[in-house]
Amino acid sequence: MFMGEYQHNIDAKGRIIVPSKFREGLGETFVLTRGLDRCLFAYPMNEWKVLEEKLKKLPLTKKDARAFTRFFFSGAVECEIDKQGRINIPSPLRAYSVLEKECVVIGVSNRIEFWAKEEWEDYFQDSEESFSEIAENMLDFDI
């Protein structure tokens, strides 16, 4: 399980340090793709395979299902962590997520997310203001 929040910088070549607490859980290779809310999602291979199987079951005849599957898979790349604990984020993914300098890397249960610091702070502030309402809606999921 991934959890926690870490601050790191992305360098001019698009490399960012993966927090040491996340490296073992990600494994030798993992999948990085466009996430929701302008962040990037990183999944260990076993979690990616579970997600892939679920997405394969979506009906091809549904426009939203096709769009979501395209969005998710077209941005996906297989990554490896180098000896310095970094990954190289391809420029299309950096552009999508506005990763330029200061970044936040967070653990979210079965995945990690890479955020531009300013995007994360805006998202967190917006969510924080409505957290009580969000929590109330989670009651429907027995949380």
CA distance 71 to 82: 27
Contact present, 119 and 112 (Cβ < 8 Å): no
As beta bridge partners, residue 103 has 8, 116
- How many other C-beta atoms lie within 10 A of the C-beta of residue 43? 22
Q: How confident is the prediction along the chain (143 residues), in pLDDT tens digits per residue?
A: 999 999 999 999 999 999 999 999 999 999 999 999 999 999 999 999 999 999 999 998 999 999 999 999 999 999 999 999 999 999 999 999 999 999 999 999 999 999 999 999 999 988 877 877 777 777 766 65
Domain count for the chain, please give it: 1
Residue 88's nearest CA partner among 15, 29, 22 is 15
CATH code for position 133:
3.40.1550.20
**Strand locations in 10-138, DSSP E?**
15-17, 29-34, 40-44, 77-80, 86-88, 102-109, 111-116
Range of 62's domain?
2-141
